[in-house]
Amino acid sequence: MIPSMTLLRKRNGMTTKAKPDRIIFLQNDKPQNVRSEFKEITKGSTFLYEKEHELSHVLLEAFSEMAFLVYCFEKTYNRLITNPPAEVKDYINQLNETSTIHATNCIIEFHSTALSTYFKTFLILSKTVLDKIVPFYSYIFSGTLYQFDKKGKKLLDSIKRSKHVPKKDQMIELIEGAKSEWINSLISLRDQYVHHSNLRQYKNFWAPGEWVGSRKFKGLSDFHKPMVEVAGKEVDALKYMLMIKAKLVIFLNKFLLFCEFTPGRRPKCFLRCDCGYQFAKKIGEYPKGGKIQFFGDLKLEIKDQEKRYGVIVCPKCGDKTDTDLDFWPQICIRKEKNLHRIADT
Ligand SMILES: [Zn+2]
């Protein structure tokens, strides 16, 4: 049983910034599933600040939902083979009673709505998982991308232009290699389904027309398994889903390592809340000269005085945004009883 997780969500609908390891999984009887895969993904990356926990929570949520579909597909497939519902048996009896050879230019397809729904939704959610990795890149390298657009082309262009990415060539090689190996064909299938509302590449349990009348079926195991045509080649649909999930784990792990979430990093500093509220703006070359212009007093929670890490509480939505205490002119950080403020002097 794949674990379901309780989602820690704030009342305003925004995702929580709790560490993913604090998320409680329900029915956690086999935690080696998603939990251990997520450990593989984040192996070697240390998330220190609230924004980073939020990003990893969002990635965990997308990955769990994608993994859940693979699990449902496999479970339903096994159930249909070992314990098919009555209508499957009736259908097979009807086929077995047919004595004339069926047309050779068609196939007999046994449609399982559950399986095709799981497969098609899996394509959409695999792309969602790829989308959720991009904000990690933008966060660490001050980028503005939030999705895996144009099969990752925009991300690649951004990395090529960036002056901040340390292992640029290797990171480009990772993405280009994965694109040609599995990402491009995955997104082509997903686009085919999303933009045309059908997926002719996917075939349910099926048998060639000439089998009908020339052989007897005992069950669904006598049919071909559900298949999908990937880049001109027919592959077992379940094996394809398992392969993509395994590739994603490796890809996400390497991608995060290139983003260098190393221990001992300084906190990032943002001048804007995720809701769009602007805390302050830089005038001139601040901090090398120039100054900070405030749009009102800001409530500050000091998280770690030694690391000079704090969070600003947004006056508009109440959400907390990471900040580097050293970014603000010290004269502007005032302590009033137990409340810290960043304020205009
Ligand atoms: Zn806000």
Residue 71 in contact with residue 118, Cβ under 8 Å?
no
| Confidence check: pLDDT of 280 > 70 | yes
- For the beta carbon of residue 112, count every other beta carbon within 10 angstroms: 20
Residue listed under structure tokens 């047309």: 103
- Comparison of pLDDT for 84 and 251, the residue scoring more: 251
Three-class HEC string of 38-72: HHHHHCCCCCCCHHHHHHHHHHHHHHHHHHHHHHH
Q: How far is the CA of 258 from the centre of ligand 1 (A)?
A: 30
* Res 274: pLDDT: 83
Residue 135 in contact with residue 146, Cβ under 8 Å?
yes
* Res 29: pLDDT: 42
Q: How far is the CA of 4 from the centre of ligand 1 (A)?
A: 30
Q: How far is the CA of 300 from the centre of ligand 1 (A)?
A: 13
| Confidence check: pLDDT of 21 > 70 | no
Q: How confident is the model at residue 36 (pLDDT cuts 50, 70, 90)?
A: confident
DSSP 8-state class, residue 180: I
Q: How far is the CA of 274 from the centre of ligand 1 (A)?
A: 6
Q: How far is the CA of 53 from the centre of ligand 1 (A)?
A: 17
**Model-level pTM?**
0.87
Q: What is the largest CA-CA distance in the chain?
A: 93
Tell me the residue length of the chain.
345
Query: Could you tell me which residues come within 8 angstroms of residue 13 by beta carbon, excluding any fewer than 6 positions away?
Result: none
* Res 305: pLDDT: 87
Q: How far is the CA of 340 from the centre of ligand 1 (A)?
A: 18
Which secondary structure element, helix H or strand E, spans residue 237, and what is its range? helix 237-259
Positive or negative, the Cα torsion across 164, 169, 170, 176? positive
Ligand 1 ion local residues (Cβ < 5 A): 273, 275, 277, 314, 316-317, 319
Mean pLDDT, residues 145-156 taken together: 94
Q: How far is the CA of 277 from the centre of ligand 1 (A)?
A: 5
Q: Is 333 exposed, middle or buried (0-12, 13-18, 19+ CB in 10 A)?
A: middle
Q: How far is CA 28 from the centre of its chain?
A: 21
Q: Residues 177-205: pLDDT tens digits?
A: 999 999 999 999 999 999 998 899 999 99
Q: Residues 69-116: pLDDT tens digits?
A: 999 999 999 999 999 988 888 989 988 998 776 677 888 888 899 999
- Comparison of pLDDT for 135 and 30, the residue scoring more: 135
| Confidence check: pLDDT of 303 > 50 | yes
